[in-house]
Amino acid sequence: MERREFLRIFGSTTGLLVLSSCINIPENTMGQATAERAGPQEISIKADEFSFKPNKILLKLQKPVSLTIINKGKIAHDLKTGMPIKDLEYQQADNKNGTFDVDFEVGHTAKLTFTPIQTGDFPFFCDIKGHKESGMVGTFTVKA
Ligand SMILES: [Cu+2]
């Protein structure tokens, strides 16, 4: 049976420790990438009331993704997806069950890496009550 990790970022107070530890990760700069080997796919998503921008994300199969999610809104948000992934990394992520939870409160930024392991279209959404219905939805499209 294939290993299937479940990506989940959400806005509860339980993840505060995780996010605050993540703030020390340096930003990637445009200049660094060229001098190094081909790095991960760098993806940045902004969340607010009530959308993700962009909300159509193209990913390459088996290529590591560096995902930054910025809460630009005035309330907490989260991002949840069932996209099959491996090698999920986040500061103090709880990987035991192939899940992790991070704080995604107002003004916070979440950063993580993972590798998509299956092609297809995989929806993501904010699972705070009512937000998905209000438009906080998107799609990860994984191509070979
Ligand atoms: Cu939301």
Distance 70 CA to ligand 1 centre (A): 12
Distance 75 CA to ligand 1 centre (A): 8
* Separation of alpha carbons 135 and 132, rounded Å: 5
Model pLDDT, residue 80: 86
Best CA proximity match to 41, nearest among 140, 126, 121: 140
Distance 49 CA to ligand 1 centre (A): 7
Across the chain, how many H-helices and E-strands are there? Answer: 2, 9
Rounded alpha-carbon distances, angstroms, from residue 130 to 45, 61, 98, 127: 20, 32, 26, 8
Helical H segments across 1-144, by residue range: 16-22, 30-35
* Separation of alpha carbons 30 and 80, rounded Å: 28
Distance 87 CA to ligand 1 centre (A): 26
Distance 9 CA to ligand 1 centre (A): 11
CATH top-level class of 5-24+40-143: mainly beta
Model pLDDT, residue 70: 87
Model pLDDT, residue 1: 44
In the chain, domain spans: 5-24+40-143
3-state SS, residue 19: helix
Rounded alpha-carbon distances, angstroms, from residue 76 to 18, 80, 89, 105: 15, 14, 22, 4
pLDDT tens sequence for the chain (144 residues): 444 555 555 444 333 333 333 333 344 444 433 444 568 899 999 999 999 999 999 999 999 999 988 889 999 988 888 889 988 887 544 444 444 445 567 777 888 889 999 999 999 999 899 999 999 999 999 999
> Which DSSP category does 30 fall into?
H
Rounded alpha-carbon distances, angstroms, from residue 61 to 34, 38, 115: 22, 15, 7
Model pLDDT, residue 33: 39
